[in-house]
Amino acid sequence: MAKAVFFDLDGTLLDTAADIRDALNGALASFGYPAVTYGETLSYVGNGARRLAERAVPEGGDAEGVLAAFAKLYADCRNERTRAYEGMAELLARLKQEGTKLAVITNKLQVSASGLIGKFYPALFDFVGGDDGTFPVKPDPSLTRYAALSMRVPLRDCVFVGDGETDVFTARNAGMVGVSVLWGYRTREQLAASGAQYFAEDVPALEKILKKFL
């Protein structure tokens, strides 16, 4: 029986793509590089800010410079175009009221992850883990395992919820049940190809799946 539910952030808890694209294009423009489309942004998200910059920069370009510029622009933005997915806050509140431990495991920079959770889901999560350089990013399971240890929950009693292939692999690598949501940045076909087994089309469907394990 699950005692904790782990959530990815971008595309799972929050739709952040518009703000990410704005900050990324601002960083690219400062180096004279072409802007990326919204679709390209969706395909680039999921493996952390460094990979985001590397994917967006033209071959031979200054990915490190764009990464630094993006990190500053994104940290300074007010997340005005970011939104919470409908029904998610209510689901989290119900899970917490029932005694389920809640964690965020994201490849987003730690400062951004903490700020977003504080703004959109205050006082709901027991652990918020992003990229601060301490652990390798997902799909490496180190941060996920550390979070479970911090919350004193065995890995076998955890469920990992995410919208991307990286989350499928992270759940598998950590020895957790994985649930893939379909309102994020990947298609069902992409997720199935990565080995996903449980799919939630909306938040009510996610709650039904989680109830099988809680």
User: Mind listing the pLDDT tens digit for each residue in 138-182?
Assistant: 999 999 999 999 999 999 999 999 999 999 999 999 999 999 999
The catalytic position among 8, 131, 163, 167 is: 8
Distance of alpha carbon 63 from alpha carbon 54, whole angstroms? 5
What pLDDT score was predicted for residue 66?
97
Residue extent(s) of CATH 1.10.150 domains in the chain: 17-76
Q: What angle do CA 136, 23, 131 make, to 5 degrees?
A: 15
Three-state helix/strand/coil letters over 78-113: CCCCCEECCCHHHHHHHHHHCCCEEEEEEEEEHHHH
pTM over 0.85: yes
| pLDDT of 115 over the 80 cut | yes
AA identity, residue 39: G
Q: Is 56 left (phi over 0), alpha (psi -120 to 50) or beta?
A: alpha
Residue 159: strand, helix, or coil = strand
Mean pLDDT of the chain: 96
| pLDDT of 201 over the 80 cut | yes
Distance of alpha carbon 108 from alpha carbon 22, whole angstroms? 16
* CATH class for the region spanning 4-15+83-211: alpha beta
The confidence band for 214, taking pLDDT boundaries of 50, 70 and 90, is confident
- Pairing relationship of beta strands 14-15 and 83-84 according to DSSP bridges: antiparallel
Sheet of strand 158-162: strand arrangement:
127-131, 101-109, 4-7, 158-162, 177-181, 198-200
Tokens of 105: 């495991």
What pLDDT score was predicted for residue 64?
97
Cβ contacts of 43 within 8 Å, gap of 6 or more: 55, 185
65-89 confidence digits (pLDDT tens): 999 999 999 989 889 999 999 999 9
DSSP 8-state symbol, 146: H
Q: Is 126 a catalytic residue?
A: no
DSSP 8-state symbol, 1: -
Domain 17-76 has CATH 1.10.150: yes
| pLDDT of 1 over the 80 cut | no
Residue extent(s) of CATH 3.40.50.1000 domains in the chain: 4-15+83-211
Place of tokens 């985001």: 52
